[in-house]
Amino acid sequence: MKVNGTLINYYFHCKRQCWLHGNRVNLEDNSEDVKIGKAIHELKQQQSKETEISIENIKIDKISSEYLTEIKKSDADVNASTWQLLLYLKILKDKGINRKGRLEFVEKNKTKNIVYVELDDSKAIELEKVIKEVEVLLGQTEVPAAAKMPKCKKCAYYEYCFI
Ligand code: SF4
């Protein structure tokens, strides 16, 4: 599987989750959280039909002359979301489209949290390294061991890992 934004996100969130998803062990359709995420995405799609674009295997929530905006339902793992957005910025940059990144976290009953992201030279080098690391991880024959963390409770693989 080609390294995409979801895999990069999972790589930072949990190596086991990344491996499972990348090796097509997909249990995520049953997850309430994934359903909420998809619903937010669909809603935003309807609201911004004129600005949403798809490039390669990514769907961009919003793009303006300055920013590529990615909308998330939770700010529980800002680092994972940041690296996912950096990959999107790289894919755009490779096509000659230079933008800064903007993450919008729209959590219920919370003020919208916005994080700005930039793909500078050092981040671009780090990102290349991360992409290679994800490829190596996915190529491993053994799935990384499950280690219980607070975030596991919201993970679609929880039952698979612990029950
Ligand atoms: S339940 Fe926890 S250990 Fe298992 S894949 Fe999800 S985050 Fe990783």
The Å distance, Cα 76 to ligand 1 centre, comes to 14
pLDDT at 4 (0 to 100): 92
Q: How many independent structural domains does the chain possess?
A: 1
Under the banding of pLDDT at 50, 70 and 90, the label for residue 110 is confident
pLDDT at 45 (0 to 100): 60
The Å distance, Cα 121 to ligand 1 centre, comes to 32
- What residue owns the CA closest to ligand 1's atom 2? 152
Query: pTM score, two decimals?
Result: 0.83
In this model, does residue 35 exceed pLDDT 90?
no
The domain that holds 93 is classified in CATH as: 3.90.320.10
Which pairs with CB-CB distance under 8 Å and at least 24 residues apart come from 23-29? 23/138, 23/143, 25/157, 25/160, 27/156, 27/157, 27/159, 27/160, 28/156, 28/157
Most confident listed range (23-37, 101-115, 118-132): 118-132
The Å distance, Cα 73 to ligand 1 centre, comes to 19
Residue span of the structural domain in which 95 resides = 5-162
What residues are in contact with ligand 1 under a 6 Å CB criterion?
Answer: 14, 16-17, 146-147, 149, 151-152, 155, 157-158, 161
